Amino acid sequence: MGESGLTAATSTEQAGMVVNVPVAESVRREVSSPDLYVRKSSGLVRTVGPRTALFANLVAMGIIVNYFWIVYASAGYPNANLVTTVAIGVLINVGVGYVYWMLSSAMPRSGGDYVFMGRIFHPSIGLGTNLLFSVVFISWAGLFAYYVTAVALPMMFASYGVAGGNMGPFNSYSTLISSNLHIFLIGAAVLILVLILAMLPTKWVFRTTVAIFVVTAIIYAVMMAMMLSTSQATFAAHWDAANPATQSYAALAASGASLDAITLGGTFLGVVYTMLSFIGYANSSYFAGEIRGSPTRTQGWAIFGAPLIFAILIGALYAATYFTFGRNFIVGVSYGAVTNSISLSTLPSPLFLAAYLTTDPILAAFLTFGLVLTFFGFAFIYFIIPTRNIFSWSFDRILPGFFTRVSGGGVPWVAVITLFVSAMIALWLAVYTTLFDYLTYSNFGFWLAVGIVCLGGALFPFLRPKLFAQAPRIVQARIGRVPLLTIVGIASWLGAWYVSYAASTIQYLEISGPYPYSYLLFLPIVFVIGVIAYFISYAIQKSRGVPVELISKELPPD
């Protein structure tokens, strides 16, 4: 099999693709010989266009989730100007997005960084990197199902109560989730819904993401309109009328003013929560085998376009939040809520604070429903991504071949069911244990791995010159004699590792005791486990006569 050619799935010539040559059924099987390895087509269906891929990536980023993260960002980094952190973050993310875009164009196969790093460096590095991401993603699927239950729904009921003057629904729901069993059961219902949607034909999976995007975009627009049409004085008067004097607007704003002198260093460190919000724009690289048409065009929209659009959205979100509620107040109320020095029914997300801007409880609940939908979207999309990763590992025979079984609708159903069980375990751990404390440190491991991918992109032209020469012309762009991918890759590598460093600081981790090296090293250890697992699998497959060294030199099939 060559490294470029005509694919059966698209009937168009795409540089960097592997040829799926039609052969007789008797020959359509694995063949072991010193120089031949034939694999059947994957069975995945190409149904994802540019717009759908873009929306799916934006859903994974969460266009209103910063109304939630702003609480922790303001409390943890009172010296940061969050609007400025967007400008810093977009520079790094556009660079990272460019690297993923180019690699997805050169190697347009499902599996993302598993394929990229496996073909550029070594399959063991590809598996280690991809396993790290996959562990984070499937943990998030369980964690965000928990967040729907324990964070987003209480906030929705609290908003309804504040706006309508009736806290009965909130009190009833709070009583319900006072039991861990009830939290687990509601979270399990969320994951069961995720499973049902994931088992639908691929086109419906991505139509679901489009629907989530549309609803959250409407909520974003309504929220922005409400904030920009309300003065700080109006909000302050409404807040004071509903809260005790010790928690007055003036008192909390004064508290924030004593904490929030903006500094350049504080702003650069404060970029860590903004970068956490950017995660998700490269997700379409993991289901590249389901992208229709030109991979370069589709991934350009989805991977390169998403961080630019997102930066505009969250930059406006931060600015409007400061305009309506006041930066000093946001810092003061966030710090008080996180440290439990003030008493509120829920976290002071701007989505909840908007309940003080209206007397319509349905409208207030609708705004905070956006957070429910966002967390559900996270649970859904971060459930889908690892299923495609497992599928790719199985195609390379790192896992048994039955994980590649695909339904008639193009759903890798064995991988889906396997990860549903994993997500349920993750949910149970989130509810009943403190094991998921390691996710506080996942930003460190995540951006460490992103840096490895960017470094791989920078070295791609030199380590794999033949594959690079067969890539689309846009991938081969140069400034002078130096590939543009190398220049952007090095800059993005350094930027990603800076974020990884910022996510390991005491200020971000909010440590009040010994430095928790065991938690910090969890994900790097996962990377090492992936590397070791590859060599174990390699030895097993070699003992069976499977030419693994040939598998890892070609791109997975369509």
Which range of 24-33, 152-161, 435-444 scores highest in mean pLDDT? It is 152-161
Q: Which residue is it, tokens 């992109």?
A: 457
**Cα angle for residues 225, 267, 448 (degrees, 5° grid):** 105
Residues 6 or more apart whose Cβ sits within 8 Å of residue 153: 173, 177, 186, 372
Q: Are 302 and 20 in contact (CB under 8 A)?
A: no
Average pLDDT over residues 332-358: 92
pLDDT band at 551 (very low <50, low <70, confident <90, very high): low
Residues 6 or more apart in contact with residue 184 via CB below 8 angstroms: 427, 428, 431, 432
pLDDT band at 13 (very low <50, low <70, confident <90, very high): very low
Amino acid code (one letter) for 15 = A
Residue 370's pLDDT band, with cuts at 50, 70 and 90, is very high
Cα separation of 492 and 217, whole Å?
29
Confidence of residue 4 (pLDDT cuts 50, 70, 90): very low
Structure tokens at 36: 């031949």
Which is more confidently placed, 510 or 238?
238
Give the pLDDT of residue 509: 62
Contact present, 338 and 129 (Cβ < 8 Å): no
Q: Give the per-residue pLDDT at 406.
A: 78
Burial of 133 from C-beta contacts in 10 A (0-12 / 13-18 / 19+): buried
By three-state DSSP, how is residue 335 classified?
A: helix
Secondary structure class of 41 (helix, strand, coil): coil
Could you give the angle at which helices 82-106 and 305-325 cross, rounded to 10 degrees? 170
pLDDT of residue 483: 96
pLDDT of residue 412: 82
Q: Whose CA is closest to 313, among 63, 72, 94?
A: 63
Tens of pLDDT, residue by residue over 284-311, are 888 766 777 788 888 888 888 899 999 9
**Nearest-CA neighbor of 54 among 412, 297, 371, 391?**
297
Q: How far is CA 423 from CA 50, 276, 333, 376, 389, in A?
A: 29, 21, 34, 13, 15
pLDDT one-digit tens code per residue, 169-211: 999 999 999 999 999 999 999 999 999 999 988 788 888 988 9
Question: What pLDDT is attached to residue 423?
Answer: 93
Using a pLDDT cut of 70, give the percent of the chain over it.
Answer: 87
Question: In percent, how much of the chain has pLDDT > 90?
Answer: 49
How is 208-277 classified by DSSP, letter by letter? HHHHHHHHHHHHHHHHHHHHHTS-HHHHHHHHHHHS-GGG-HHHHHHHHHTT----HHHHHHTHHHHHHH
Higher pLDDT, 266 or 359: 359
| Residue 272: pLDDT band with limits 50, 70, 90 | confident
Domain segments of the chain as ranges: 5-76+83-551
Asked if the model's pLDDT at residue 398 lies above 50, the reply is yes
State residue 291 phi and psi, 5-degree precision.
-85, 130
Helix (H, G, I), strand (E, B) or coil at 291: strand
Pick the residue with more confidence: 17 or 401? 401
Show Cβ contacts of residue 88 under 8 Å, excluding neighbours closer than 6 positions.
267, 268, 271, 274
198 token code pair: 């994931």
Cα-trace Rg, the chain: 24
User: Residue 483: what are its φ and ψ, rounded to 5°?
Assistant: -60, 135
Residue 172 CB-density burial (10 A; 0-12 exposed, 13-18 middle, 19+ buried) = exposed
Distance CA 179, CA 346 (A): 18
Task: Please give the Cα distance from 12 to 7 (Å, whole number).
Answer: 7
Whether residue 355 is predicted with pLDDT greater than 90 in this model: the reply is yes
Helices (H), 433-521: 442-463, 465-469, 484-502, 506-509, 517-520
User: Does 5-76+83-551 carry CATH code 2.50.20.10?
Assistant: no
Apex CA 97: angle with CA 207 and CA 12, to 5°?
65
Angle at 470 between CA 465 and CA 476, to 5 degrees: 70
Please report which confidence band the pLDDT of residue 556 belongs to, taking 50, 70 and 90 as the band edges: low
Residue type, 89: G
Lowest mean pLDDT among 35-44, 126-135, 421-430, 516-525: 35-44
Query: Which residue, chain included where needed, has tokens 């009833």?
Result: 172
Cα–Cα distance between 426 and 135 in angstroms, integer?
10
In contact, 109 and 389? CB cutoff 8 Å: no
What average pLDDT does this structure show over 429-440?
79
Write out pLDDT tens, residues 314-327. Answer: 999 999 999 999 99
**Torsion angle, alpha carbons of 54, 59, 63, 67, to 10:** -170
At residue 517 the predicted structure's pLDDT band, cuts being 50, 70 and 90, is confident
Confidence of residue 10 (pLDDT cuts 50, 70, 90): very low
Q: What is the pLDDT of residue 394?
A: 82
Whether the predicted pLDDT of 486 surpasses 60: yes
DSSP assignment, residue 150?
A: I
Predicted confidence at residue 269, as pLDDT, reads 81
Classify the C-alpha dihedral 164-166-171-173 as positive or negative: negative
Classify 458 in phi/psi space as left (phi over 0), alpha (psi -120 to 50) or beta.
alpha
pLDDT grade for 547, boundaries at 50, 70 and 90: confident
Q: What are phi and psi of 230, to 5 degrees?
A: -125, 135
Q: What is the mean pLDDT of the chain?
A: 84
8 Å CB contact between 284 and 302: yes
207-224 pLDDT, tens digit per residue, is 898 899 999 999 999 999
Global pTM? Answer: 0.83
Amino acid occupying residue 514: P
* For range 351-358, the mean pLDDT: 95
Exposed, middle or buried: residue 497 (CB in 10 Å: 0-12, 13-18, 19+)?
middle
With 90 as the cut, is the pLDDT of residue 482 above it? yes
d(CA 395, CA 390): 9
User: Which region, left, alpha or beta, applies to residue 62 given φ > 0 means left and ψ of -120 to 50 means alpha?
Assistant: left
pLDDT of res. 16? 33
Give 37's pLDDT tier (boundaries 50, 70, 90): very low
pLDDT, one tens digit per residue, over 78-132 is: 888 999 999 998 999 999 999 999 999 898 877 788 888 988 999 999 999 999 9
